[in-house]
Amino acid sequence: MPDSQIPTPALALLGAASAAVVAAWGGALMRPSSVPERDVRAMSDDGLVRVIEAVAALSRVAGSLQTRLAAELDDRCSGITGDDLAKTRGCTTPERLIAQLTTGRYVDAARFVAVGRATASRSSFTAEPLPPKRPALARALHDGVLGIDAAEVIRRFLDRVELRADPEELAASEAFLVERAPVVGVDGLGLLVKRLEARLDPDGVKPREDELRARRGLRIWQDRAGMVNVRGAFDPVNGAVVTAAIDALVGTELHRARDARARDARAPRPSETEDDQATAETRTIAQLNADALTDLARHTLGCAEVPTLRSVTVVVRADAEALAAGQGAASIDGIEQPVSLETVRELITTAGVSPMLVGRGEHPLRLGHSARLFTPAQKVALAERDGGCAWPGCHRPPSHTEAHHIRWWGRDTGATDLDNGILLCSHHHHRVHDDGWTIRIHDGHSWFTPPAHLDPEQRPRPGNRAMPPTLNRYRSMRASAVA
C-alpha cells in the first residue's frame, strides 16, 4: 500500500467506528429486511440499543475530526501562513466559512473552532512542538470518549477560571470533568462546573450570591380568565427553604397514595369499589406543587387543617476547617449554586436548617441489623459520598432519594451501616430491585453492574458521587473499575 494510502490514527479510528456501526446494524436485525427503510423496525430491543451506542460513538469521532479541521482552517485564516482562506472564499470569518461548508449554524461552527484551538497541538516561537492547551480534554475528545457538546462546556469553564485558579488545581479540575462527563452527561456537567468554580474561585462566591439575591422577586397577578398567576425567582438560600417545604408536602401525598395502593393489593376491596377513579389520586406534580403552596399559605394564616409535614431539614454542607478559617464555599442539598461561608454562619442558628461539617459529627452511623431504616444522620453522610441519587447519570438531589440496603436487609440480612447503604431515587431504586442490578462500594465509590440480559459483558458502571474533597489530591483518589 502506498504511504499516501496508509490511514492515519484519526482515520483508522473513524474507520473502526464506522465498521462498528455496520456490524451492530447487521447483528441487530431479527430478520432480513428487503426494504432498507424498514431495517430499524426489524431490530431487536437490545440490537437497537447497541446500534444507537455505535452511531453515537461514530458521531463523537467525526466531531473530533471536525474540531481538528476547524482549528487548521482557523490558522489558515490568520494571514500568517498565506492568504486568508475565509476571505478568498467570500466569508468574513473562519466560522462563517465552516457554517457555509457544513450548512450548519454559526454557533456550532464557533464551537468547533474554539474546542479545536484548545485541543490542537501547538508550536513555540522557535517552532518547537508543544502539547495542547487542554491535554486531558484533547485525549478524551480525540479518542472518541467525549462529544463536542461536553468538550465545549469543559473548555468554557476552564477558560473562565484560568486566570484566578492555581494551575495544579486547574489541571485536576480538567481531569475530573473529563472522567465524569461520560457518566453524568452534558446536563450533569453544569452542576459539577458550579461546584468546581466555587472551589477554584472562592472569592467570587459571595459576589455571585449577592447578585442572585438582588435578582429575587415574586409577581402575583390575575389574568382575564380569572386565574391567579404566580411567577418568581429565589436566591439559592431562600429557594432551598421554599423547595424543601413544597417537596415535603408533595412527597407526603405521593407516599400516601403509594401506601394506599400497597394496602389495596394486600386486601382487595369489594368489586364495586375496585379501581374507583373517584377516590384515586389524579393530580399532576404541577397541581400537587400548587396545592402544597396553598396549604402553606393557609397554615400561615392560622388554618388548622394542613397536611402533616414529614421531618424536613435543609442541609448545608461545609468543610469544618474551611469554615473555621473563613475560606472556601458551601453547598445546599438540592441547590446547584454554591453559597458563601458568611451565609453558612447566618444559617447555623436558623430553625430547620442543618449545617453538616465534613469530617465531624456525633451521631452513630453504624446500626448493624438492630434497625431497618437508615437514620437522618446516616442519610446526610451518604449524601456526602453520593451527592444525590448514585445511579449513573441521575441528577436527582438528596431530598429526592431513599437509602437502599446494598445487601438487602431481609433477604441478605444486610446491616444498616454506611458501607451497606446507597442513595437512590424511587425510580432507580425499583430498577435495582426489578432488573437485578448489583452494587459494590470500592474505595468509597459506587459501581453498578447490570444483569446479563441487559449487558452480556456485565461491565460495571461508575455511579454518581459528590465532589472530591481536595482537588489537588484528585489523581490519587481515582477509583479503578471493579471487576
Grid coordinates in use for 275?
379501581
> What average pLDDT does this structure show over 465-476?
56
More confident residue, 320 or 139: 139
Q: What is the pLDDT of residue 174?
A: 92
Say whether pLDDT at 175 is over 80. Answer: yes
Grid coordinates in use for 367?
446500626
Q: Where are the domains of the chain?
A: 3-200, 203-360, 365-483
Question: How far is the C-alpha of 155 from the C-alpha of 136, rounded, in Å?
Answer: 11
Identify whether the C-beta of residue 381 lies closer than 8 Å to the C-beta of residue 404: no
> What average pLDDT does this structure show over 336-349?
76
> What average pLDDT does this structure show over 302-326?
64
Q: What is the pLDDT of residue 27?
A: 87
Instruction: Write out pLDDT tens, residues 198-256.
Output: 888 877 888 888 888 899 999 989 888 888 899 999 998 888 888 888 888 888 777 77
Tell me if residue 199 falls in helix, strand or coil.
helix
Q: What is the pLDDT of residue 278?
A: 46
Q: What is the pLDDT of residue 477?
A: 47
Q: What is the pLDDT of residue 38?
A: 77
Which of 61-75, 301-315, 368-382, 436-450 has the highest average model confidence (pLDDT)?
Answer: 61-75
Say whether pLDDT at 432 is over 90. Answer: no
Instruction: Write out pLDDT tens, residues 248-293.
Output: 888 877 777 766 666 655 555 554 444 545 456 678 889 888 988 8
More confident residue, 202 or 138: 138
Say whether pLDDT at 192 is over 50. Answer: yes
Question: How far is the C-alpha of 262 from the C-alpha of 435, rounded, in Å?
Answer: 20
Say whether pLDDT at 461 is over 70. Answer: yes
Q: What is the pLDDT of residue 467?
A: 65
Residue with cell 489530591: 473
Q: What is the pLDDT of residue 334?
A: 73
Question: How far is the C-alpha of 61 from the C-alpha of 222, rounded, in Å?
Answer: 53
Q: What is the pLDDT of residue 352?
A: 57
Q: What is the pLDDT of residue 1?
A: 47
Q: What is the pLDDT of residue 137?
A: 94
Instruction: State the chain's mean pLDDT as an integer.
Output: 79
Nearest alpha-carbon partner for 331 in 216, 202, 441: 202
What percent of the chain clears pLDDT 70, i.e. is strictly above it?
79
Burial label, 325 (beta-carbon count in 10 A; 0-12, 13-18, 19+): exposed
> What average pLDDT does this structure show over 100-110?
92
Q: What is the pLDDT of residue 105?
A: 93
What percent of the chain clears pLDDT 90, i.e. is strictly above it?
19
Say whether pLDDT at 470 is over 70. Answer: no
pLDDT interval class at 146 (50, 70, 90): very high
More confident residue, 128 or 82: 128
Q: What is the pLDDT of residue 358?
A: 55
Question: How far is the C-alpha of 145 from the C-alpha of 306, rounded, in Å?
Answer: 51
Whether the model clears a pTM of 0.75, i.e. scores above it, the answer is no
